[in-house]
Amino acid sequence: EEYSHVQGTRWHKSVISYSIGSYTRDLPRDTVASVIESALSVWARASGLTFVRSQTRNADIMVEFVTNSHGDMYPFDGPRGTLAHAFGPGSGVGGDTHFDDDEQWTAGDKGFNLLLVAAHEFGHALGLKHSTNPQSLMYPTYKSTRSANLLSREDVANINALY
């Protein structure tokens, strides 16, 4: 799973903190914050986990918009190609979620939709692997057309099996 750098298998607490360490210039900061919150709430509803926003850099899930080489062993690759990656549950880098800021991030449908990508990444940050089912949010390829409710039955079953 080269896009979910596995740490542990799951979080062993029900309240998980997140912090937005850097922003993209493609969207207003408030929009980024509300999209991130929405993407986490999708998993909160299905897992019973609670996500609390922090302003410190030692939150469980550090969200960053970065380009190319950015301090971990998984440099991004410019426009298109890899859109984002996330580390599985654990201390330190565990849970951290990075978005390639060489992409055009959108809250609508021009460019890559941040909600769709963030929801996929947070699945990894919670311990989920990729799915071979194209309907699943955890499918490894970006698909702009997704049903209103982001999670497929498979995603709900998988997160329930984990938490």
Judged by CB under 6 A, which of 27, 32, 59, 83 binds ligand NFH? 83
2 has catalytic annotation: no
What distance in Å separates the CA atoms of residue 153 and residue 74, rounded to the nearest whole number? 31
Alpha-carbon separation of residue 2 from 21, 75, 86, 129, 148 (angstroms): 23, 12, 10, 10, 28
Q: Is position 17 an interface residue for ligand NFH (rule: CB under 6 A)? A: no
Residue span binding ligand NFH (CB under 6 A) among the ranges 20-28, 31-39, 58-66, 75-83: 75-83
How many residues of this chain bind Ca ion (CB under 5 A)?
4
Q: How far is it, in rounded angstroms, from Cα 146 to Cα 149?
A: 8
Burial of 29 (0-12, 13-18, 19+ CB in 10 A): exposed
From residue 142 to residue 161, the character string flagging contacts with ligand NFH as x (rule: CB under 6 A) and all else as - is: x-------------------
Contact 77, 70 (CB under 8 A): no
Q: Which two tokens stand for residue 22?
A: 């850097």
Chain positions 111 to 140 lying near ligand NFH, rule: CB under 6 A, are: 117, 120-121, 124, 140
Binder of ligand NFH out of 16, 20, 49, 84 (CB under 6 A)? 84
Looking at the annotation, which residues are catalytic? 121
Binding residues (CB under 6 A) for ligand NFH: these are: 3-4, 80-86, 117, 120-121, 124, 140-142
